[in-house]
Amino acid sequence: MIGKITGRLDYQGADHVLVDTGGVGYLVYCSERTLAMMPKPGGMVALYTELLVREDLLQLFGFPTLVEREWHRLLTTVQGVGAKAGLAILGTLGPEGVGRAIALGDQAAIKAAPGIGPKIAQRVVLELKTKAPAIMAMGAAGSRPAMSAGAPADPAPLSAQAAAPAPPMSGLAPDAAEGANDQADALSALVNLGYAPGEAAAAVAQAAGGDVTGSATLIRAALRLLAPQVNS
């Protein structure tokens, strides 16, 4: 099982890259969002990978963070969502967007991905609603980039080589990673208070959609959403 690839970018295609690792070239399929993070040819690339094995085909799919790979694994458990359809959903929404759409039952957001129809979007939301909180709870740990501080420094890191205006391949930006951690903390707190994971995830996702920062503030906002309505 190939879990991660680190090497030099040989070339980038419309839906894949070729990564040279010790003289062996690996063809890795990626989402549009991940492809936009690539450096120029010759730059260093690191991707977490998932290997698809069929009788007539072996394909590698690459992801900049662990949490994105886990979302892809979960998406492809839904009937009708293949590996490339899973990439399309992640490429359109990003890992946080996928979690928010599932938690809030937002089928329209899932359907916005190329090749995803209303029936599949409905299936994704309904089948994954109780499974999504486990991935949402990964927080910043799951958002750690495959290109870590220990990756080879020659040539220059991706942050120096990525073509503008695309961001470097570093997973989530620091503020976004902090937001993911806040959401994971809030989700854990609500579950510990006795709320069902799906219910807690929906409240956290809705609260995070506003201008809420910090885990404590997010918890309070989610609790207000979960509080029973009192008739005046």
206 vs 30, residue with greater confidence? 30
Asked if residue 56 is part of any domain, the answer here is: yes
Asked if residue 105 is part of any domain, the answer here is: yes
What number of other Cβ atoms are within 10 A of residue 94's Cβ? 17
Provide the domain count of the chain.
3
Distance from C-alpha of 181 to C-alpha of 190, rounded to nearest angstrom: 14
Of the three residues 107, 136, 165, the one that is the final residue of a domain is 136
* Residue 210: CATH number of its domain: 1.10.8
| The pLDDT of residue 89 | 95
Q: Please list, in sequence order, all residues whose beta carbon lies within 8 angstroms of the beta carbon of residue 103, skipping any fewer than 6 positions away.
A: 129, 132, 133, 136, 198, 201, 202, 204, 205, 206
Distance from C-alpha of 221 to C-alpha of 133, rounded to nearest angstrom: 18
| The pLDDT of residue 177 | 58
- Residues 131 and 70 grouped into a single domain: yes
| The pLDDT of residue 82 | 93
| The pLDDT of residue 107 | 94
Asked if residue 222 is part of any domain, the answer here is: yes
- Residues 59 and 71 grouped into a single domain: no
Residues 116/88, Cβ–Cβ less than 8 Å: yes
pLDDT interval class at 162 (50, 70, 90) = very low
| The pLDDT of residue 156 | 43
Distance from C-alpha of 25 to C-alpha of 160, rounded to nearest angstrom: 23
- Residues 132 and 71 grouped into a single domain: yes
Residue 47, pLDDT > 80, answer: yes
* Residue 121: CATH number of its domain: 1.10.150.20
Residue 165, pLDDT > 50, answer: no
| The pLDDT of residue 58 | 87
pLDDT interval class at 172 (50, 70, 90) = very low
Can you tell me which residue has the tokens 């201008």? 211
Q: What is the pLDDT of residues 111-158, one digit of tens each?
A: 999 999 999 999 999 999 989 888 888 765 556 667 654 444 444 444
- Residues 30 and 75 grouped into a single domain: no
Give the mean pLDDT of 155-174.
42
- Residues 101 and 121 grouped into a single domain: yes
Of the three residues 136, 165, 185, the one that is the final residue of a domain is 136
- Residues 50 and 80 grouped into a single domain: no
Asked if residue 147 is part of any domain, the answer here is: no
Question: Which domain range does residue 221 map to?
Answer: 174-226
Q: Which of 87, 50, 89, 83 is nearest to 66 (CA)?
A: 50
pLDDT interval class at 222 (50, 70, 90) = confident
Q: Which two tokens stand for residue 141?
A: 């740990």
Residue 232, pLDDT > 90, answer: no
Q: Please list, in sequence order, all residues whose beta carbon lies within 8 angstroms of the beta carbon of residue 116, skipping any fewer than 6 positions away.
A: 85, 88, 89, 110, 124
Taking the model in full, what pTM does it have? Answer: 0.75
| The pLDDT of residue 164 | 38
Asked if residue 146 is part of any domain, the answer here is: no
Distance from C-alpha of 141 to C-alpha of 110, rounded to nearest angstrom: 25
Classified as helix, coil or strand, 58 is: strand
| The pLDDT of residue 159 | 41
pLDDT interval class at 166 (50, 70, 90) = very low
Asked if residue 154 is part of any domain, the answer here is: no
